[in-house]
């Protein structure tokens, strides 16, 4: 769906620094400006006037997008030439890096042909250089579109689970009818009970997704936070030439759920996967989940979502748990190059850790509070 800029947003009180729009958590919007020149200040001011708490980065050209895509972003704004080539190059860079971030182009009034052609090529929105007040509305639409797409993906995953849970019930009933031990066979009754309870949990999850307001934090099955990035990276890495790394996911069926901003949590795991691929010498990419009750430092159940690269999938799935270690300081990098990701995780009441795996491997662990009992199937 193409994003279209809306009318300017009303100004907010200068002291109101909550995110705009607020999605139930104190999370800042992520914006990257490509080749903005002297106009950057006006566009930043338009965000501030609308009450948008934004984390804004800049690069002189499209080549600077690569490091920017290691952090969560909601919109990339490109100041373009008349033909729209820079916006198209930015869109190609986003796809190549395995991210799903909308790209908007700022074109001169004389670039009518490019303005018509760019949306068909995947550019989300086209803005005029003299109207920075339209940027907050464009960013809002990007945020809402991302949440709609994520809800659709979660609905698809839950529907897939429901199909797998419902399918054994008719077979189990037939076995009950034919079993020589009679209808009270414990194994058959247990299979029906497990599938029925799991299906009911799945229906509840679907109902919440379909009825919750767009800005409400969702109860998200933690296994889906692993399965969706794993599917995404299989598509990204599967198109590479040569022998691309395998992408695996490993988690128990009773992993439980977390509550929060599904878009941001999926962005965190996707960005961690890219960082792990960059740091590791090779091997498979593994998304792994486990119960980690008590490890967040807070009372109550918790869940660990782990991203590891650098070993074969079998080894990564069976090796002992790697301990947490200090974040290695890369040459020329800030003291904490995970700051933006850490901010998202901590806003959800969790912790982000770097795993001490080895010199040729890389891994990260996200610890989050759980909001569902261990036996919940969805």
d(CA 289, CA 220): 14
CB 252 within 8 A of CB 234: no
Pair of tokens at residue 92: 């190609």
The radius of gyration of the chain's CA atoms, rounded to the nearest angstrom, is 23
CB 134 within 8 A of CB 177: no
Query: What pLDDT sits at residue 198?
Result: 61
pLDDT > 80? residue 186: no
Three-class HEC string of 211-230: HCCCCCCEEEEHHHHHHHHH
pLDDT band at 153 (very low <50, low <70, confident <90, very high): confident
Q: What is the mean pLDDT of residues 12-38?
A: 63
Closest by Cα among 83, 86, 91, 81 to 121:
91
Handedness of CA 157, 160, 166, 168 (dihedral sign): negative
d(CA 25, CA 31): 18
CB 158 within 8 A of CB 166: no
pLDDT > 50? residue 49: yes
Q: What is the mean pLDDT of residues 249-266?
A: 88
Hey, which residues does 289 pair with through a beta bridge? Answer: 305
pLDDT band at 2 (very low <50, low <70, confident <90, very high): very low
Under DSSP, is residue 177 helix (H, G, I), strand (E, B) or coil?
Answer: helix
Q: Look at 201-205, 306-310, 326-330 and tell me which has the smallest mean pLDDT.
A: 326-330
Pair of tokens at residue 2: 């193409």
Share of the chain above pLDDT 70, in %: 65
* Choice between 39 and 274, residue whose per-residue pLDDT is larger: 274
Q: What is the mean pLDDT of residues 255-270?
A: 90
d(CA 299, CA 241): 47
Q: What is the mean pLDDT of residues 195-211?
A: 64
DSSP character at residue 105: E
**Which secondary structure element, helix H or strand E, spans residue 43, and what is its range?**
helix 40-49
Pair of tokens at residue 122: 């995947």
| Average of per-residue pLDDT values in the chain | 75
CB 49 within 8 A of CB 87: no
- Structure-token match 């607020």, residue found: 22
Query: What pLDDT sits at residue 163?
Result: 64
d(CA 6, CA 19): 19
CB 287 within 8 A of CB 228: no
* Choice between 136 and 242, residue whose per-residue pLDDT is larger: 136
- Structure-token match 């040729």, residue found: 360
pLDDT band at 42 (very low <50, low <70, confident <90, very high): confident
Dump pLDDT digits (tens) for 53-111: 888 999 999 988 888 988 899 999 998 777 778 888 999 888 887 778 899 888 876 67
pLDDT > 80? residue 202: no
d(CA 157, CA 205): 11
Backbone angles phi, psi at 111, to 5 degrees: -100, 50
Query: What pLDDT sits at residue 34?
Result: 92
DSSP character at residue 181: T
For the beta sheet containing 284-291, the strands, ordered from the edge strand earlier in sequence to the opposite edge, are 247-250, 284-291, 302-311, 362-369, 351-355, 324-325
Dump pLDDT digits (tens) for 276-326: 988 887 788 999 999 888 776 667 889 999 999 886 654 554 444 555 544
Dump pLDDT digits (tens) for 228-237: 899 888 888 8
∠ CA 227-24-10, rounded to 5°: 125
Query: What pLDDT sits at residue 303?
Result: 93
d(CA 288, CA 278): 19
Q: What is the mean pLDDT of residues 199-225?
A: 72
d(CA 70, CA 279): 12
pLDDT > 50? residue 270: yes
CB 147 within 8 A of CB 214: yes
Q: What is the mean pLDDT of residues 348-352?
A: 91
Pair of tokens at residue 201: 């949990």
Query: What pLDDT sits at residue 10?
Result: 42
């Amino acid at each position: 769906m193409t994003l279209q800029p809306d009318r300017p947003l009303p100004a907010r009180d200068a002291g109101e620094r909550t995110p705009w729009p607020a999605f139930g958590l104190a999370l800042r919007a992520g914006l990257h400006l490509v080749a903005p020149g002297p106009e950057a200040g006006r566009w930043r001011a338009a965000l501030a006037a609308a009450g948008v708490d934004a984390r804004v980065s800049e690069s002189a050209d499209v080549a600077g997008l690569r490091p920017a895509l290691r952090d969560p972003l909601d919109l990339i704004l490109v100041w373009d030439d008349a033909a729209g080539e820079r916006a198209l190059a930015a869109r190609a860079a986003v796809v190549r890096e395995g991210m799903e971030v909308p790209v908007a182009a700022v074109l001169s009034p004389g670039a009518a042909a490019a303005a018509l052609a760019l949306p068909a090529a995947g550019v989300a929105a086209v803005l005029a250089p003299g109207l920075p007040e339209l940027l907050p509305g464009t960013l809002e639409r990007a945020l809402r579109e991302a949440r709609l797409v994520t809800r659709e993906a979660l609905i698809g995953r839950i529907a897939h689970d429901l199909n797998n849970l419902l399918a054994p019930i008719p077979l189990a009933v037939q076995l009950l009818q034919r079993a020589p031990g009679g209808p009270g066979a414990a194994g058959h009754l247990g299979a029906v009970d497990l599938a029925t309870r799991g299906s009911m949990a799945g229906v509840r999850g679907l109902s919440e997704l379909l009825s919750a307001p767009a800005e409400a934090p969702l109860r998200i099955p933690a296994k889906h936070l692993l399965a969706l990035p794993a599917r995404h990276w299989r598509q990204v890495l599967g198109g590479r030439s040569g022998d691309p790394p395998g992408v695996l996911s490993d988690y128990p069926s009773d992993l439980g759920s977390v509550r929060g901003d599904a878009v941001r949590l999926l962005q965190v795991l996707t960005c961690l996967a890219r960082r792990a691929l960059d740091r590791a010498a090779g091997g498979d990419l593994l998304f792994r989940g486990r119960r980690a009750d008590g490890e967040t430092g807070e009372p109550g159940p918790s869940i660990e979502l782990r991203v590891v690269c650098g070993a074969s999938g079998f080894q990564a799935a069976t090796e002992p748990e790697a301990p947490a270690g200090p974040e290695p300081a890369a040459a020329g990098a800030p003291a904490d190059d995970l700051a933006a990701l850490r901010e998202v995780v901590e806003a959800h009441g969790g912790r982000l850790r770097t795993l001490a795996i080895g010199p040729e491997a890389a891994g990260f662990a996200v610890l989050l509070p759980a909001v569902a009992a261990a036996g919940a199937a969805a």
